Amino acid sequence: MKHASLFAGAVAAGAFALPAFAQTEISWWHAMTGANAEVVQKIADDFNASQSDYKVVPAFKGTYPETLNAGIAAFRAGQAPDIIQVFDVGTGVMMAAEGAVKPVAEVLQDAGMTFDKSQYLPGIVAYYSKPDGTMLSFPYNSSSPITYINKDIFEKAGLDPNTPPKTWNEVWDMAKTIKASGAAPCGYTSTWLTWIHLENFAAWNDAAYATQENGLAPGGVPELQINAPLYVNHFQAMADLAKDGTFKYGGRTSEAKQIFLAGECGIMTESSGGLGDIVKSGMNYGIGQLPYDSDAPGAPQNTIPGGASLWVMGGKSDETYKGIAAFFSYISQTDVQEYLHQTSGYLPVTMAAYEATKASGFYDQNPGRETPITQMMGKAPTANSKGVRLINLPQIRDIENEEFEKMLAGDQSAQEALDNAVSRGNAAIKEAMGQ
């Protein structure tokens, strides 16, 4: 199974057809820092060393939004890169830009490679595909939200450190116990409220986030559904817990991780990509899957990926596209995927890499590392759990965050906050779609 490429034959054929001196450069703009940036460099170097026709040149372009903006500005100036890494929220923006991008499935097919969907993890590929199943971008780094617990705080509070909460009601109860026992000043905190408590909450509990299959189905303007009773009850419970500090708000992105790392809270929901920092802190931690709502009939369904994918820009030469196809087939190889998964903590993209990692005993040595994969793969995705695809998702998240902040400050109830988010969000979606 080692070195097994999904398109190995086709790549080999392509590689020998070209003269060696005409090396084509392929630019790759990315937003990875620290250890993840080293992974990017190593993958590019290894690919360049493995053949002589193409040279992938990675360039760091700042944070995720900065990289996306740099790509957009470059495209407008006619200087777009060949490959650009775009974060999950930017997916809708890229998908709406038909003509600016070239679907990955097309890139692979044009280069004479067969694209076999069944080789990839279904939850991840569905998120980056058109409703008809055409893969639009290459899932490079995917993560999934999970539950982290501080075992020392659990013991102090008289809770079993080996049973992390499974449902949200258990989270609220355990958080109250932690706070009441004085084991920690706060019971529960969470990063990324919009991603975890709305987008993933919807998928995991098989509830609609928006009409039109959360914006995935073509035609029509999607309308937000996040003021349904399931969401209102969930957020009212959180708002109630926020009143006495049992739930502590950290900020709109991953700031809450600092609160958890400081030992202030006993439970946290965060991206699986945040594991590195928790491990590094030396905390006595435990991992559980994302809690689900016990009132939801279909729960738990499946979670949806965060992270980023690689988009191919349009209007490049055939030679460049061939090189990109070769590069994507290279990073699909099992050993490359295994390296990516085990070093960076992001999820593997192919089934083969997942199986190989499992067989190597990695998950036995690192319990919890499999949780984000199993919860994403558990069931075949439904209309509610393929992902959220709004053309202006970053803006929608901003609106939702603003309303949550007013709610958590005690200025409005959960019903009011979610009603406002829906009406403001729907207006923004209409506006963005030019209606």
Residue ranges in contact with another protein by CB under 8 A: 65, 69, 72, 75-76, 93, 96-100, 249-252, 258-259, 262, 264, 392, 394-395, 398, 401-403, 405-406, 408-409, 411, 428, 431-432, 434
**Shortest Cβ distance from residue 250 to another protein (Å)?**
7
**Shortest Cβ distance from residue 64 to another protein (Å)?**
11
Q: How far apart are CA 186 and CA 162, in angstroms?
A: 20
Strand arrangement of the beta sheet that strand 145-150 belongs to: 247-249, 186-190, 265-271, 145-150, 285-288
**Shortest Cβ distance from residue 109 to another protein (Å)?**
24
Query: Which C-beta is closer to another protein: that of 75 or that of 339?
Result: 75
**Shortest Cβ distance from residue 213 to another protein (Å)?**
22
Q: How far apart are CA 371 and CA 287, in angstroms?
A: 8
Contact 143, 272 (CB under 8 A): yes
**Shortest Cβ distance from residue 71 to another protein (Å)?**
9
Query: Which C-beta is closer to another protein: that of 161 or that of 425?
Result: 425
**Shortest Cβ distance from residue 159 to another protein (Å)?**
23
**Shortest Cβ distance from residue 313 to another protein (Å)?**
10
Query: Which C-beta is closer to another protein: that of 84 or that of 174?
Result: 84
**Shortest Cβ distance from residue 433 to another protein (Å)?**
10
CA angle 332, 28, 338 (to 5 degrees): 25
For tokens 């987008």, the residue is 199
Query: Which C-beta is closer to another protein: that of 90 or that of 323?
Result: 90
**Shortest Cβ distance from residue 46 to another protein (Å)?**
32
3 φψ region: left (φ > 0), alpha (ψ -120 to 50), beta (else): left
Q: Which residues pair with 25 in a beta bridge?
A: 55
Query: Which C-beta is closer to another protein: that of 90 or that of 164?
Result: 90
Query: Which C-beta is closer to another protein: that of 270 or that of 293?
Result: 270
Q: How far apart are CA 264 and CA 101, in angstroms?
A: 45
H or E element: which one contains 308?
Answer: strand 306-313
Q: Which residues pair with 188 in a beta bridge?
A: 247, 267
Residue 426: both structure tokens together:
């729907």
Residue 145: both structure tokens together:
């939200």
Can you say how many angstroms the Cα of residue 6 is from the centroid of all Cα atoms in its chain? 24
φ/ψ (deg, to 5) at 296: -85, 125
Where in 22-68 does DSSP place strands (E)?
Answer: 24-30, 54-60
Residue 299: both structure tokens together:
């729960």
- Cα–Cα separations (whole angstroms), residue 297 to 87, 186, 301: 31, 30, 10
Look up residue 245 and give its DSSP letter: T
Query: Which C-beta is closer to another protein: that of 337 or that of 392?
Result: 392
Residue environment code for 326-342, b if the CB has 16+ CB neighbours within 10 A, otherwise e: bbbbbbbbbebbbbbbb
Query: Which C-beta is closer to another protein: that of 343 or that of 395?
Result: 395
Residue 152: both structure tokens together:
């020392």
Query: Which C-beta is closer to another protein: that of 63 or that of 294?
Result: 63
Query: Which C-beta is closer to another protein: that of 10 or that of 308?
Result: 308
**Shortest Cβ distance from residue 59 to another protein (Å)?**
19
CA-closest candidate to residue 371, choices 148, 201, 167: 148
